[in-house]
Every structure is written in C-alpha cells, then in structure tokens.
Amino acid sequence: MSYLITGGAGYVGAHVVRALAQAGESVAVYDDLSTGDTTRLPDGVPLVRGSVLDRGLLDRTLTEHRVTTVVHLAGHQDAAESVRQPLRYYRENLHGLQILLEAVRGARVPRFVFGSSAAVYGAPETELITEDAPCLPTTPYGETKLAGEWLVRAAGRAHGINTAALRCVNVAGTAAPHLADTAGRGLLPMTFEYLHAGSPARILGDDYPTGDGTCVRDFVHVEDVADAFVAAAQALVEQPTPDHLPLNVSRGEGVSVRQLIRAVAEITGHTRLRPRTAPRRPGDPARIVACPDLAAKHLGWTASRSLEDMITSAWAGWLRTAP
C-alpha cells in the first residue's frame, strides 16, 4: 500500500508516519506546516507542503504518489479557539475535508481513515462512553469532527471508499523527544510550564461532581494512537465492501486533574509545589472516559502504555525545547 498522511508533520501525524515507516510501508506527508515541524519526519519520507483547500495540489499528490490509503489528520484542534473562530474551523476542518474527499474520489483511492475526537460526545452524563452514546458536541471543533464523520461515511458509501473514523481522547506522551507535542495546549504541557517556572500548577475548578472535585479525563499514549491508525488502515484492506467504523481510541481509565498533577510532580521531582485552584473554564465537562472495547473487537487493538509512560516521555520531550 501507499499512504498519504495529511497533517503528517504534526504531533499525532508524525507518530503515524513513524509507525508506518518502521513497518516498511510507502508513506508521503501532506502538510501546510502551520503547526507541523519537518524535523519530526523520518529521512526519506517525501513532504508535499500545501493546504487541503488546494484541490489541484491534492490531485497531483494522490496521483504522483499512487496513494491507496489516506489518513486524514490535518486540521485545527483547539476547542477554545474554535469558539472564538468558528468560521475558520468550519472552513479548514469541514470544507477542507470535502475538497480532500472529492480528490480521493477522483483519484479512486479505495481507503480513507479519519482522525476524529471524543469531543463529538460533548458533555455526556455517563461513566464510560460507548460509540452509540448521543453525540452532542459543545464546541465548533467538536461539531466539525462530528459533521466530518457524517461526510466521510456518506462519501464512502456513495463512492465505494472503505472508511473508518477514530475518536481519540486526550493524547499524551511521545516516542522520542523530537516528536513531542510543542503546541502547549494540553494539560500536561501546561503543567510542565508551571512547574518548570517554579510555580504551582493550576486546577481549573474543584467543585465538579467527581471523586476529588476536579475534572476526570481519559489519556492515551500517542504511540498507542499511532498503532490504532495503522490497525484501522490495515483492517480496511480486509473489508470487502465500504464500511464506517467510528471507534474510540482510549484506555477507558479516568484520571482526575488533581491526580495527574500529583503524578507529574512526583515524576519531575517538583513535589513541594502544591497546585492552586482557579475558576472553572466554561464548557468543561466533569468526566470524559471512553470505552475502547469496539476497537479491540474490530481492530485487535488495545492501549498498552501507562500514564507514567506518557508523563515521563512527555517531560523529556518538553525539556528539549523548554526555555
């Protein structure tokens, strides 16, 4: 097979590229480099710099690289930013996906894996979220991911494309320091920044209906995520007819913000810095923990790396570029 990874120079995308390259697969990357970093790419992996809004360049790329599978990870991913800039998110995340799918249809690419998000669920009132839970996203980012799933499924069924959608929870950790998440939007990098500066980490709200009053989240190692995308692409080869698998990519284990900060402090040696509490961030659900059973059933995939693995590797990556 020949893979094209959109957003392949980004944090998650680069790990997918790495996993495929190590498996001996033919891989090319399509990225506008607005947040991507070329130093993340393995030697010999070709990069096409361009936007998913550029139909002509997409057509040429799919043809020149004889692409048989697209893994779509390009797009904007900041939920809070999407509230402030909904038009940008709908243009890049949804209209860009439409143009990409039109190019995929035109090039007769038979397989398409869509990087979705647990943000499609919104603020569910359930301990463990399964894929048949109601999808009620609370941000434009989550809305574009849900609408993107619908679009991918419809295009696949209409045009004979085997498709899958992976709903990822909070992704953390790194396979190597140079592949680390440098965007600084997640809880881990924000906590690292506080501790490295000698300041107590912030807890945004401690009055949620959870065990210790702080939000509970499900974290999964980025290498496990990459393995899930590879497994999904391989599973589509075996599908005789077009299908659509919206699958959770998660560990199914909840970790509270307070527990995570405590673990970070212990691993990094900043145990004397106790966190301080700040007001809630609007729109934050109390608990998001997703059930990974369907991914195990359909892909033979389960997350194998621990929270400690995520924190330790992410800390090493963060120190590489820390001020």
CB neighbour list of residue 297: distance below 8 Å, 6 or more residues apart: none
- Count of CB atoms within 10 A of residue 308's CB? 12
d(CA 316, CA 135): 36
Selected catalytic residue, list 11, 30, 121, 141:
141
Tokens matching residue 192: 């690292």
Residues in the chain: 323
Task: Indicate the SS3 state at residue 282.
Answer: coil
d(CA 209, CA 207): 7
The answer to whether 121 is a known catalytic residue is: no
Tokens matching residue 158: 């209409």
Q: Around 91, how many Cα atoms within 13 Å sit in the side-chain half-sphere?
A: 7
Closest by CA position to 307, among listed 256, 272, 242, 247: 256
d(CA 295, CA 302): 7
Single-letter amino acid code for the residue at 127 = E
Query: Looking at 51-98, which runs of residues are DSSP E strands?
Result: 69-72
Tokens matching residue 156: 């696949």
Closest by CA position to 45, among listed 67, 29, 62: 29
d(CA 144, CA 149): 9
Closest by CA position to 97, among listed 71, 119, 78: 71
d(CA 2, CA 158): 23
Positions marked active-site? 141
